[in-house]
């Protein structure tokens, strides 16, 4: 049985005061028995302070990216060792915004994945197609390519300590989520691609859906058999909304 997982990707949002308010509301609103793994991924500069606010809670700390290099002359970058040092447990790698805006290619994403794991940080590997790719029938090919790039470098065993997030680019921040059936189709494809190399690892791999998840649509998406939770952008900035999404991910529904 895969334990559901909901992660909030705050992207480039927040202030110290807003973060404190959000975390306070989240922790107050969380039920005692959560049944879901929950993480928040603030911008680098707030990781330490948000980590302090989360101390002794059931909410984990995640980063939005990680440098592929271990240390040295890489101005503006943050290493996996540094992330570990401030209490980070998860790192998003390969988010479509980084692929598109910062030209991160499959090879770099694979190196970031390995860098995170080298410090015991669980990578959340994002994959997903653009609208153009979907409309030209390339969705499965694109997702397979993005996944293989990591499997080829890290090996299938690395998927024991990783999470995959299917995030169709056309659904991110657009208010236009994939239908539960569209998500299920791609999630099943991802799981079967991993199963082709190791069925046990595939069966335990958590595959999250991301792209315009809201309190109002989370339950039906999470109900799909290969959807194990969500990677939430905009809706993770509102405590009530994020809490409702976390509740929707509970196995009991
Ligand atoms: P939205 O939930 O705002 O569409 O963003 C999804 C996302 O990119 C999470 O990483």
Give tens-digit pLDDT for 55-96. 999 999 999 999 999 999 999 999 999 999 999 999 999 999
User: Is 104 annotated in the active site?
Assistant: no
Query: How far from each other are the two terminal CA atoms of the chain, in whole angstroms?
Result: 15
d(CA 169, CA 149): 19
The single residue of 97, 167, 187, 241 carrying the catalytic annotation is 167
pLDDT at 233: 98
pLDDT at 34 (0 to 100): 83
75 in a structural domain: yes
Q: Which residues line ligand 1 (CB under 6 A)?
A: 9, 95, 167, 172-173, 210-213, 231-235
CATH number, domain with residue 137: 3.20.20.70
Whether residue 79 is contained in a domain is answered as yes
Q: Is residue 207 part of a domain?
A: yes
Q: Give the closest residue (by CA) to ligand 1 atom 5.
A: 233
**Strand, coil or helix: 98:** helix
Q: Active site includes 21?
A: no
Task: Confirm whether 253 is domain-assigned.
Answer: no
188 within a domain of the structure (yes/no): yes
Lookup: tokens for 108: 């770099």
**pLDDT under 70 in the chain at which residues?**
253
* CA 159 – CA 114 distance, rounded (Å): 11
Angle at 45 between CA 42 and CA 47, to 5 degrees: 50
Rounded to whole angstroms, the maximal C-alpha distance in the chain is 49
- Residue 220: give the domain boundaries: 5-27+35-248
- Whether the model clears a pTM of 0.85, i.e. scores above it, the answer is yes
Instruction: Count up the domains in the chain and report the number.
Output: 1
């Amino acid at each position: 049985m895969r334990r559901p997982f909901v992660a909030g990707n705050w992207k480039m949002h927040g202030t110290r005061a807003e973060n404190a308010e959000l975390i306070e509301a989240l922790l107050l609103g969380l039920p005692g028995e959560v049944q879901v793994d929950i993480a928040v991924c603030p911008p680098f500069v707030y990781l330490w302070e948000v980590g302090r606010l989360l101390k002794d809670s059931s909410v984990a700390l995640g980063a939005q990216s990680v440098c592929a290099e271990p240390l040295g002359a890489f101005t503006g970058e943050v290493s996996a060792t540094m992330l570990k040092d401030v209490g980070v447990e998860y790192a998003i790698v390969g988010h479509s915004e980084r692929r598109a805006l910062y030209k991160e290619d499959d090879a770099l994403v694979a190196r970031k994945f390995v860098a995170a794991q080298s410090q015991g940080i669980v990578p959340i590997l994002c994959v997903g197609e653009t609208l153009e790719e979907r409309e030209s029938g390339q969705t499965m090919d694109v997702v397979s390519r993005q996944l293989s790039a990591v499997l080829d470098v890290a090996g299938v065993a690395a998927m024991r300590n990783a999470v995959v997030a299917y995030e169709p680019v056309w659904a991110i921040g657009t208010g236009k989520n994939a239908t539960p059936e569209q998500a299920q189709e791609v999630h099943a494809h991802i799981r079967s691609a991993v199963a082709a190399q190791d069925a046990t690892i595939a069966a335990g791999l958590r595959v999250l859906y991301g792209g315009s998840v809201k309190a109002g649509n989370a339950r039906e998406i999470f109900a799909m058999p290969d959807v194990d939770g969500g990677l939430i952008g905009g809706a993770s900035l509102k405590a009530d909304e994020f809490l409702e999404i976390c509740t929707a991910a509970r196995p009991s529904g």
